[in-house]
Amino acid sequence: MESVRDWRERLIEATTRPIRKTTLAYRLWVGFLLAVIAWGVYAYSLQLRHGLVVTAMRDRISWGLYISSFVFFIGISHAGTLISAILRASHATWRTPVTRMAEFITAVALVCGASFVIIDMGRPDRILNVFWYGRWQSPIMWDVLAVSTYLVASIIYLYLPMVPDLALYRDRLGDEVGRFRSWFYRTTAGDWIGTPSQWTALGKAIAIMMILIIPIAVSVHTVVSWIFGMTLRVGWNTSIFGVLFVAGAIFSGIATLIIVMAVLRRVYHWEEYLQPKHFLYLGYLLAAFAAIMVYLNIAEYLTSGFKLESGEEFAFRQLFLAKFAWLYWFYLFIGMFVPVLLMLFKPTRKIWGVVIAAALVDIAMFVERFLIVVTGLRVPLMPYAPSDYFPSWVEWSIFFGMSAVFSLIITLAVKLFPMFAVWEMTEGYALESVESGFTEDAESRAAALLEGSVG
């Protein structure tokens, strides 16, 4: 077995790879994303000038793609919480190579998701009224409260375990990466030199945030579900929404993490660290959550469908038989059953199988958000003909623009931040080598551990 020190050196080399080399493909990709974003900005400028009439939203169906996207992005932000906090709390050591990416997805997805609420506003200049006139009796206020708390908490939770790695970058990369990044590492690493008292303080901070962020994350998507669940509308008037949204959030969060991992693994040749087992474990989690989602669907629709209170029949027909049937059955069979099958059989239990499952899950979960928003609003409250909704090109443009913002921030972050938790992975490798009876010089092992960041 390789010595801890050598292993760590190779890991540092792999982690800093994106920072030391910028390929033409990278520049083209950034250019493409910027073009999509520019198009989205143009679409939004039209919306600002002419108002929400440029969207397909009208009086009867007054929420659409924007609110679906809000729910979806807030949902995938749960990746960081589950992978990082829950697995850290349960001492699952295999998690270490994927935590950093998961935490990044959380912070970035939250920023993008929250933006959709502002995009959905006809008068975004009135956003501060939420603070001047907002009252805690309103579920919208609960959203503001929960999302802002989660955003701050997850940024801190992203930053804390990164401090030793930023210090490593500060010491290793020095001035060779240009003045901005050199200054950035000096500032963000603070005075981290890896003394025992610093490790103690860091451990304490991480432990606090790890525990705290789990209930915050659960509250966030529960509260997001309550902007629907607190409304007296057929299809939304159910207590299962909190659970369904939290489960769906973690579900789509894992899927997004798998896709980001697969992309970065291929682009930066991180095969050694992002191993098949990481994809498989996440794939199993994905399959487990697919089963939970199927269960929740049955629980919800059987209890309300068995009784069919007034108005429910219309909701049922449009979801299962009529207008939205193809979307719903796609969501249930392609988005839930196929991923389980892919994980069930050995020939597909490969990285490509997991990635396909993840892509299907992300699409299906987006469809689910769309169905919840639109079918709920489509049920007529009075005897009028149900109206229809299909997003306008402005809505699509803004949606793709914001998705490009999400990708762009992740793309740029790879160039600036350590995407692996070097110190946690080194710790894991050291423990592994002790367990496997590897008898390297004990002192050098301890030194590598204690040394932490200082290269």
Partner 1 sequence: MLAPPGVALAADAMLEVASPPGAAIGDRVSIAARITVDGSPVPGAVLVLSHEEQFIGERGYVEIDRQVTGPDGIAVFRFVERDPDGDPMRVTYDGPDPEIVAAPVDFQFPVEPGPQQYRSRAGVDIPWLSGWVLVALVVIVWGTIAVAAFQLVRIARFGATGASAPKSEGSSTLATVITVVVVTLGSVIVAVLIRSPQTHANLGSAEGYTRTPVAYVDQPVDYLGPGLDESVVPQASDDVAKGRALFFAKGCAGCHTFDASGGIVGPKLRARNVDDLLRDVRRGPGGMPAYEETALTDDEVGFIASYLRAVRKGGSSGG
| Number of shown-chain residues binding partner 1 (CB under 8 A) | 41
Considering only residues 215 to 244 of the shown chain, the ones binding partner 1 according to CB under 8 A are 216
Would you tell me how many other CB atoms lie within 10 Å of the CB of residue 423?
Answer: 25
CA-based nearest residue to 376, from 365, 389, 393, 366? 389
- Cβ atoms of 365 and 252 within 8 Å: the answer is yes
| Closest distance to partner 1 from the beta carbon of 257 (Å) | 24
Contacts of 444 (CB under 8 A, 6+ apart): 3, 4, 5
Q: Which residue has the tokens 């915050």?
A: 216
Piece of the chain touching partner 1 by CB under 8 A; list 62-70, 206-214, 383-391, 394-402: 206-214
| Closest distance to partner 1 from the beta carbon of 51 (Å) | 10
Piece of the chain touching partner 1 by CB under 8 A; list 20-28, 154-162, 268-276, 393-401: 154-162
- Strands (DSSP E) contained in 262-308 are none
Binding residue for partner 1 (CB under 8 A) from 208, 298, 302, 325? 208
DSSP assignment string, 82-138:
IIIIIHHHTT-GGGHHHHHHHHHHHHHHHHHHHHHHHHT-S-GGGTTHHHHH--TTS
| Closest distance to partner 1 from the beta carbon of 219 (Å) | 9
- Cβ atoms of 95 and 271 within 8 Å: the answer is no
| Closest distance to partner 1 from the beta carbon of 141 (Å) | 7
Q: Which residue blocks in 163-195 are alpha helix, DSSP H?
A: 163-173, 179-189
Q: Which tokens in the block code for residue 356?
A: 């396909």
Closer residue to partner 1 in complex, CB, 23/195? 195
Closer residue to partner 1 in complex, CB, 187/303? 187
Over the window 304 to 343, marking each residue x when it contacts partner 1 by CB under 8 A and - when it does not, the resulting string is ----------------------------------------
| Closest distance to partner 1 from the beta carbon of 243 (Å) | 20
Closer residue to partner 1 in complex, CB, 166/342? 166
Q: Which tokens in the block code for residue 185?
A: 């590492």
Closer residue to partner 1 in complex, CB, 188/318? 188
Return the SS3 of 222.
Answer: helix
Which long-range contacts does 321-325 make (Cβ < 8 Å, 24+ apart)? 323/378, 323/388, 324/371, 324/374, 324/375
Closer residue to partner 1 in complex, CB, 126/266? 126
In a 13 Å sphere around the CA of 260, the CA atoms on its Cβ side amount to: 31
Distance CA 254, CA 109 (A): 13
Over the window 376 to 395, marking each residue x when it contacts partner 1 by CB under 8 A and - when it does not, the resulting string is --------------------
Q: Which tokens in the block code for residue 299?
A: 């629980």
Would you tell me how many other CB atoms lie within 10 Å of the CB of residue 23?
Answer: 10
Binding residue for partner 1 (CB under 8 A) from 14, 108, 153, 247? 153
From the number of C-beta atoms within 10 Å of its C-beta (0-12, 13-18, 19+), residue 131 rates as exposed
Considering only residues 130 to 149 of the shown chain, the ones binding partner 1 according to CB under 8 A are 131-137, 141, 145, 148-149
Binding residue for partner 1 (CB under 8 A) from 198, 318, 397, 403? 198
Closer residue to partner 1 in complex, CB, 212/296? 212
Residue 197 in contact with partner 1, rule: CB under 8 A: yes
Considering only residues 49 to 78 of the shown chain, the ones binding partner 1 according to CB under 8 A are 53
Q: Which tokens in the block code for residue 321?
A: 């038989």
Over the window 157 to 196, marking each residue x when it contacts partner 1 by CB under 8 A and - when it does not, the resulting string is --xx--x------xx--------------xxxxxxxxxx-
Residue 384 main-chain phi, psi, to 5 deg: -125, 160
Cα-based angle 287, 210, 145 (whole degrees, multiple of 5): 90
Would you tell me how many other CB atoms lie within 10 Å of the CB of residue 9?
Answer: 14
Closer residue to partner 1 in complex, CB, 218/290? 218
| Closest distance to partner 1 from the beta carbon of 404 (Å) | 28
In angstroms, the Cα distances linking 416 to 169, 178, 409, 413 are 10, 11, 11, 5
Piece of the chain touching partner 1 by CB under 8 A; list 62-70, 156-164, 301-309, 387-395: 156-164
Piece of the chain touching partner 1 by CB under 8 A; list 155-163, 256-264, 277-285, 299-307: 155-163
Would you tell me how many other CB atoms lie within 10 Å of the CB of residue 125?
Answer: 8
Closer residue to partner 1 in complex, CB, 132/306? 132
| Closest distance to partner 1 from the beta carbon of 370 (Å) | 25
| Closest distance to partner 1 from the beta carbon of 170 (Å) | 6
Residues lying near partner 1 in the complex (CB under 8 A) are found at 53, 131-137, 141, 145, 148-149, 152-153, 156, 159-160, 163, 170-171, 186-195, 197-198, 201-202, 204-205, 208-209, 212, 216, 454
